[in-house]
Each structure stands twice: as structure tokens, then as C-alpha cells.
Amino acid sequence: MSSPIIPHITSEIGEIEAVILHTPGPEVENMTPGNAERALYSDILNLPVAKEEYFQLSAVLEKLTKTFQVKDLLTEILEDKDIKTSLVERICTHEGVLNIKEDLLALDHKELASQLIEGVALKRDSLTTFLSDERYALRPLHNFFFTRDASVTVFNDVMISKMANKVRERESIIMDAIFTYSPHFKTSTINPMSTWHVGEETHIEGGDILIAREDILIIGNGARTSTQGIDFLTDHLKKHNGKKHIVVQQLPEAPESFIHLDMVFTLLDKETCLVYEPMIGHENNYATILMTIENGQVVSISRQSGLLQCLERLGMKLKPVPCGGDDLWQQEREQWHSGANFFAIAPGKLMGYARNVHTLEALQKEGYSVIKARDVINEKINLDNYDKFVVTIEGSELPRGGGGARCMTMPVRRKKVDW
């Protein structure tokens, strides 16, 4: 095995060197229309189609960088009996199902990894379980293919997310185990779930955290990330040397397509960002707040006139590209299907959904070539021949889960950007 990767992210756009993915599996189908809302879905997915679309994302990334799959990493660490016992005990205790602990420990490491993700069927061996409407003793992790949410690399550390919804907490527990035990990574982790003074009101998820520059974080404050969660991360950043700026952007609690900041704002290159204009480009009631940390304390905190204006004040002047183009109707339609959620492979080199045609037209006006993922996979296109591009993946099913290319990628390491 090669030397372990040391996580390091100082921007959203630096050339990607390692990324964690999770190909959607049976857990995506292990739901019904009746429990889809509980699983945080607005609809149920067609798994074969979703897997084909996801293949386009993963296959392109495999050509460009080092990729890891969550299930493979989990399977590998579960080969160690002590790790297996510790993780099973933690999950069963956390979810109140210690009665199935011995059954899980009896599984081999491959089957155990599958069941921890895909769900553990409820045994109908008692009157209570026989009459229960539940299908699973451990519910499937329907949302795990959005690997961005459960953990996030923040500079030289990996923060394990404290999820806003209990149905996703096992994702964080699994990612914590991976970064703690996997020989592929040499990691320092920050985990609010393991911090004694952190309460129920504290939640913070990776989709709300954008590393803009070595000294700037942008964090969304909304349905998935609370002010207490931002304070938790702020307290950790006080330990860093030098000055750090935290730009907090408040988000509406609804609609559900606004669940994270990266659904309305992503960074594309050193000069350009993609925005949902009604939220980011127009004056509204959602505050932008700038916090500055220096010498281990918050030295200033103030309201700003807007996200883009605040970043310009900090030396990041960005040209906004509108999700959905110039028409409000199309902006609303395409934002709903993750039209503002793009993933930067390197500065000006992006991935996103092909369905958001008006967004792609707006990017073309900024000099981006639009390239089909299949043409990259089949080697009809050499990406080295393009300075600025967006690789498009088909997106009829994956967006139904509530996220795009950025949501489906958890970068572990990026190259530094020469600003």
C-alpha cells in the first residue's frame, strides 16, 4: 500500500487529488412512497437508472484522480475484530438496538458492511416485532451517496458532521470510523458527536461548508447547520495560527431544495461562482455575517450587505453566473434539480447535471466547453485539450435524492491554488 493520504483542502477549486464516493446501492430502493419523506426524499428512485448516472460521475473521476468507495473502506476496516466490535457496539448503542448486536457480530466483514449501509431486516421473532410496521431494525442509509454531508475536510482536519436528522447519523459514525482506522488516511478529526458539551441544538453538515481560500470559510446557516454548529467549528479554528474569516450566509428553511449553501452557491474558478440569483444576487431578508478570528479569539463580527459584496471586501471579487440563466422561471426550475451544485475538479474544470440546459448555456457564455461524460469515459474527448469545461452527467434520477455533483463528492485532498 502507498503512503497514507494526509487530508488537506485550502480551496473549493484546487486540483482534486483524492475523493471519497459512494455508489448508490440497494439502500436507495429500500423505501416506499410512504416512508420517502422520513428518508428525506421527495420521491423514490429507480436504482438501475441512478447507478448508470452515478457511473458517469465516478468513471470520469477515476480517470482524473484517486477515488475511494465508502463501502470498500468500511469493509476493509471491519476485517479487524476489535474495530468490528467497537463499531457495532457504538452503532447499536446509538440507535437503541443492542438486541441485534450479537447477530451483527456473527456476520463476516463484507456482509456486515453491506447491512450497515443497506439496512438490517427486522426479525419477526416476537409479538412486538411481528406486529411492528417497521421493516428494518437498522434503517437503510438512503442518502449516503451524498458523501459531502457526513464529513468534510477543513484545511488539515476532517470534521465529522453532526447531522440535523437522526436518519443520517450512522453515516457520520461510519465516516468517523473510516478516518480513524483506515490505513489509507492519516487524519486529525474534529467530531462534535464526541464532544461532551455539544447539545442537541448543535448540527453542522458538509454541504454548508465551502473552503473559499486559505483564510476564508463560507458557511450556510439554515435547516441543516445551526448557529451552534458554526460556533463549534469556529472554536476549533481559534486554534489555528493567523487570521481566518468565516462568512455566514443565512438560508431559508424552505423549500427543501435550499437544504445546504451549495444548492444556491458554488465556486467555479478564481474569478467565477455559480449562484441562484433570487437568494444570492438580490436583496433579501437573509443576513450575511462576517466573523474574523485572530490570536485565538473572535476579534470582530458584523453584518454585511451580501455574500458577494462581503467576499469582494475580503479580496475575492467573483463574477456570478446565474443558475438557470436570466429567466426567473428557469432559475427556479433548474435550482430545484441542483443547477447551482457544481463540483470543481480543478479551477475552471467542473462537473454537473446535463439536464440544467439554461445553466450550461450561461457557463458557455463564460467560455466553458460543455462535454458529455460518456465522451470522456469512451476516450472520444481528451480533457487536457480544454482550459475551461463542464463535464455533464445525465440526471433524471439522481437529483430526486436532493443533490448534485458537489453533494456526491467528499474531497480529501486538493492541490493549493496560486491566487
Percentage above 70 pLDDT, the chain: 96
Residue 34 amino acid letter: G
| Residue 308 contacts residue 259 (beta carbons within 8 Å) | no
pLDDT of residue 34: 56
How distant is the alpha carbon of residue 96 from its chain centre?
27
pLDDT of residue 1: 62
pLDDT of residue 415: 97
As a whole number of angstroms, the distance between CA 151 and CA 121 comes to 27
Nearest to 219 by CA among 174, 161, 170, 178: 161
Q: What is the pLDDT of residues 191-225, one digit of tens each?
A: 988 877 778 899 999 999 999 999 999 999 999 99
pLDDT at 166 over 70: yes
Distances (CA, A) of 352 to 194, 279, 314, 330: 35, 20, 28, 17
pLDDT of residue 39: 45
Q: What is the pLDDT of residues 146-160, one digit of tens each?
A: 999 999 999 999 999
pLDDT of residue 28: 85
Backbone angles phi, psi at 45, to 5 degrees: -105, 150
As a whole number of angstroms, the distance between CA 192 and CA 95 comes to 17
What DSSP line would sit under 237-290, residue for residue? HTTSSS-EEEEEEE--S-SGGGSSGGGTEEE-SSSEEEE-HHHHTS--S--EEE
pLDDT at 400 over 70: yes
As a whole number of angstroms, the distance between CA 204 and CA 257 comes to 17
pLDDT of residue 43: 62
Residue ranges and CATH numbers for the domains of the chain are: 16-86+140-414 (3.75.10.10)
Q: What is the pLDDT of residues 381-398, one digit of tens each?
A: 999 999 999 999 998 889
Q: Which residue has the higher pLDDT, 414 or 131?
A: 414
As a whole number of angstroms, the distance between CA 394 and CA 378 comes to 15
